[in-house]
Chain A
Amino acid sequence: MAALPTTKPQLERLLSARGWGATLLSAELAPKLAPTLTPTLTPTLANGSAPPARPHRGLTLLYPAGAGGGVTSAALRAAAQALAAPAAVAAWVDGTDALDPESAARAGLCLDRLLWLPAAGAPLAELLALTQMLLAAARFHAVVLDVLSRPVAELERWPRAAWFRLLRGLERHRRSQLWVLAPAALPAPSAVTKVAV
């Protein structure tokens, strides 16, 4: 009689050998390099070096590295990149009604395939609920949640569970990319890719 596995790696090897490897949580959490978004991010990502390797699960938090800005431009270009696929659609949850259609068009965004949700008056919880609905629809190549001009004090009350709900929504279909534009590096789980612009 074979010895029973006593450690986690032994158990995982045993399950994989018997065809149950897909049920392992570690298979879902295996590291994957984060895709670099746009040319504008390149200088600030790693100061000329390669972007850091970290698990990427479709959720990227963009925040300003300094006072120079550039977060909106980067997000617009990321959305434009997602819309480059034929018949792709994107959604922009605008927590501050700050989207300028002219700038978006100049960044190469196809406005006809953009769903814009201006939601300046909506509380943060509503914005998160809207984003979850968009992710659950699994029809959007890119979803942008813009809370860049929201007060930091409000964003500090961002529930940690919300990050996990968003990640779960992304994992369910694995079809959409979510970009969160925030004024600072919000406390977030390590599964969220944080990029300073």
Chain B
Amino acid sequence: MRYLCFLAADPAAARRLGRAVRALTPSAERGADCYLLDWRGLERLHGPAEAVARRLAVAGVHAGGAGRKATALLAARAAAAFGRPCILLLPGTEAAALAPWPLVLLAQTGDAATAEALAVLAGWGIRCWGELAALPAAELHARLGPAGLRLRALARGEGGAEALAARPPAVGRAVLRRELEPPLADGEALERLLARLLAQLARWLDRRDRLTDRLDLRLGCEHAPARCYRARFSPPLRQARAMAAQLQLALRRQPPPAAVTGLRLRARLTPPRPIQPSLFAAQESTAPAPEATAKFLSRLAARLDRRQDPALGTPRLVDSHQPGAFQLAPFQYPETPGLPPRRPPQSAVAEPPAVPRPAADQTPPPPALRAHRPPLPARVRLNPAGEPVAVATGSGPWHVIARRSGPWRSSGGWWAAADPAAALGTVPAAAPGPALASDSAAPPRRPPARETTFTADPRRIWDWEHWDVQVGTRRLRLRQDRRGGGWVCDGTYD
């Protein structure tokens, strides 16, 4: 028996299994939930593979053994499915042993195409591996493509090594920890230590062909609360110097309050970006180096000195009916950026650039809104029809509304409330008062700026009524919260 595969049913068993496997050999392949051992050469050291498999397959660990990697993995999964400690397939008997196994066991070995192929096979009445193995390869390929052939090979015990989940997961984390004794009080020494750790992390990422898009640094401080720092990289990278530069910026902006007793560095992993560079692009039209981009954006964010995260980025409209909803996403240069064309020297320009003019029948585009963040509290007087006739923003004077347009009502998020009926049931009034002047409720408290910078919260319940009004020469966008009754000015059209 050439390969042994061990499968752990729970985290405790996985830890125990990891220790046992490392004691056997340092070269075991590790999958998401399994270990695969090439037993060639280990027999003299640890005895026959069957004995080792039976010894380790206890308390949440299942073992499989076969002459091929994929078959050993499938045997381990079958052992887990059948509730048996181990299934060992001797060479030459694999096909006969696999034949009665149910087809559903193969569902754990593939992707969406495999699942689709299995559904088709089930529709054909194929129930076990033996029936699948007996199907003609050419006919199967004609109908199910490569996925069908792959399943057939697995059912015949001929599966390749690609079935193993030996690769690192697409996303995950890497954590580095250091305890410092004595505590480190020197900022420069801390930066040097960080640079060494990041170099170590970069080598680790390089070996596993992974990048990181976020680093979280937690510094334990002596007689003071721990201090956390975060650096984001867009696009993801694994260059130690670029990572160190960003963390150094953050450390210099907010130095730890006391000597550092320990640190934890956590990196969020991402798969590498596939980029197809152009053969014919000029040198200056290639993308800026990722580390340069990340450092540049980090320097900009450090200048902004905002506590929110992210401090800058690309505004993205979200798929919501909530007016004004957007998210701030990390900025990324286009994959094939082009530098701006270089303007010729001033003296070389003979004619001005062309002047774009609108077509005669072209309707003018609507004016842009200049948002007030946070919205300005407003007081509004309503007429008997419930329409605003005068408005005052903040503590300013009243202004008569010359023209109005609205209302536009929108609501949402109520489905996330514990009681959806109550979430929308407190509609106060655009209730007309007895006289022309019916002031709205007291001006709402001005919300903190942080709440309104990013307005895309899917859990937020809103029930709004918008009005566009003209006050003198200014055009305002007013909003009434129909749940609370307050009025605010969302912005000015400019």
Question: Which residues of A are at the interface with B, using a C-beta cutoff of 8 A?
Answer: 27-36, 38-40, 42, 51, 53, 55, 57-58, 66-73, 76-77, 81, 85-89, 96-107, 111-122, 126, 129-130, 133-134, 137-141, 148-149, 173-176
Given A87-B336, A101-B326, A140-B340 in contact, is the A32-B349 Cβ separation under 8 Å?
yes
B462 within 8 Å of A (CB atoms): no
Inter-subunit contact B365/A73 (CB<8 Å): yes
Residues of A within 8 A of B362 (CB): 39
* A102–B369 touching, CB < 8 Å: yes
B324 at interface, CB cutoff 8 A? yes
How far is A175 from B340 in the complex, measured between Cα atoms in Å? 5
CA distance A33 to B236 in the complex (A): 43
Chain B residue nearest to A81 in the complex (CB):
B356
- B360-379 CB mask vs A (1 if < 8 Å, else 0) is 00101111111111000000
Known: A39-B357, A115-B314, A138-B340. 18 other contacts (CB 8 A): A27-B346, A30-B347, A33-B349, A69-B494, A70-B367, A71-B494, A87-B338, A88-B338, A88-B340, A97-B373, A97-B449, A107-B365, A111-B316, A112-B314, A113-B314, A148-B494, A175-B339, A175-B343
Cβ A89 vs Cβ B334 within 8 A:
yes
- Evaluate contact between A176 and B340: CB separation under 8 angstroms: yes
Q: Once the chains bind, are A130 and B367 in contact (CB under 8 Å)?
A: no
CB distance from A40 to the nearest CB of B (A): 7
Which residues of the other chain, A, contact B472 by a CB distance below 8 angstroms? 67
**With contact pairs A27-B346, A38-B356, A116-B313 given, residues A102 and B324 touching in the complex (Cβ less than 8 Å):** yes
Query: Across the interface, do B303 and A129 meet the contact criterion of CB distance under 8 Å?
Result: yes
Report chain A residues within 8 Å CB of B316.
Answer: 101, 111-112
Interface 0/1 of B269-313, CB less than 8 Å to A:
000000000000000000010000000100110011110000111
Could you tell me if A36 and B303 are in contact, using CB atoms closer than 8 angstroms? no
Q: Is the CB of A67 within 8 A of B346?
A: no
Q: Could you jot down 28 A-B contacts, CB within 8 Å?
A: A28-B346, A29-B346, A31-B346, A32-B349, A33-B349, A35-B353, A39-B356, A39-B362, A72-B367, A85-B338, A97-B373, A98-B370, A99-B371, A102-B369, A104-B315, A106-B365, A107-B368, A111-B317, A114-B314, A115-B314, A117-B304, A120-B449, A122-B303, A138-B339, A139-B340, A140-B340, A141-B340, A175-B340
Q: A85-B338, A105-B317, A140-B340 are in contact. Are A32 and B346 (CB under 8 A)?
A: yes
> Would you call B473 an interface residue if the criterion is a C-beta within 8 Å of the partner chain's C-beta atoms?
yes
Q: Which among B288, B328, B493 is the interface contact of A139 at CB below 8 angstroms? A: B288
Given A58, A66, A73, A99, which contacts B473 in the complex, CB threshold below 8 Å?
Answer: A66
Asked if residues A101 and B343 are in contact (CB atoms below 8 Å), the reply is no
Question: A159 to chain B: closest CB distance in Å?
Answer: 18
Is the CB of B182 closer than 8 A to any CB of chain A?
Answer: no
A81 to chain B, nearest CB (A): 7
Partner of B315, one of A98, A116, A174: A116
Of A29, A72, A114, most buried by chain B (CB within 10 Å of CB) is A72
Nearest chain B residue, comparing its CB with the CB of A177 = B340
Q: Which residues in A have their C-beta under 8 angstroms from that of B317?
A: 101-102, 105, 111
Name the 7 nearest CB pairs between A and B, nearest first: A33-B352, A175-B340, A103-B368, A30-B347, A67-B473, A101-B315, A72-B494
The binding surface of chain B is classed by DSSP as: loop
Interface residue? B82 (CB, 8 A): no
B355 touches A100 (CB 8 A): no
CA distance A148 to B494 in the complex (A): 10
Inter-chain contact B370/A42, CB cutoff 8 Å: no
Chain B nearest CB from A174 CB (Å) reads 4
CB pair A139–B346 under 8 Å, yes or no, is no
Given contacts A99-B315, A106-B365, A130-B304, contact A32 B453 (CB under 8 A): no
Chain B residue, CB-CB nearest to A24: B347
- Cβ of B398 within 8 Å of any chain A Cβ, yes or no, is no
Across the interface, B371 reaches (CB within 8 A) one of A55, A100, A129, namely: A100
Q: Are A139 and B337 in contact (CB under 8 A)?
A: yes
Chain A residues with CB below 8 A from B449, complex form: 97, 120
Contact between chains at A133 and B346 (CB < 8 Å): no
Tell me if A32 and B352 are in contact (CB < 8 A). Answer: yes
| A175–B299 alpha-carbon span in the complex (Å) | 21
Complex CA–CA separation, A42 to B339 (angstroms): 29
A17–B54 Cα distance when bound, in Å, is 94
Output the nearest chain B residue to A76 by Cβ-Cβ distance: B368
Closest to A45 in B: B355
A119 near B345 with CB under 8 A, answer no
Whole-angstrom distance between the Cβ of A49 and the nearest chain B Cβ: 13
Contact A68 B473 (CB under 8 A): yes
- Kindly state whether residue B491 has any CB partner on chain A within 8 Å: yes
Q: Kindly state the separation between the CA atoms of A149 and B346 in the bound complex, as whole angstroms.
A: 33
Give the chain A neighbours of B303 by CB distance below 8 A. 122, 126, 129-130, 133
A174, B371: Cβ atoms closer than 8 Å: no
Q: Which residue of A lies closest to B367 (CB)?
A: A73
Q: How far, in whole Å, are A86 and B333 apart by their CA atoms in the complex?
A: 12
Q: Which residue of A lies closest to B353 (CB)?
A: A35
Give the residues in chain B near A77, CB-CB below 8 Å: 365
Please state if A73 and B494 are interface contacts (CB–CB under 8 Å).
yes
CB pair A73–B288 under 8 Å, yes or no, is no
Nearest-neighbour CB distance to chain B for A173, whole angstroms, equals: 7
How far, in Å, is A85 (CB) from chain B's closest CB? Answer: 7
A63 to chain B, nearest CB (A): 12
Task: Collect the chain A residues with CB atoms within 8 Å of residue B358's CB.
Answer: 39
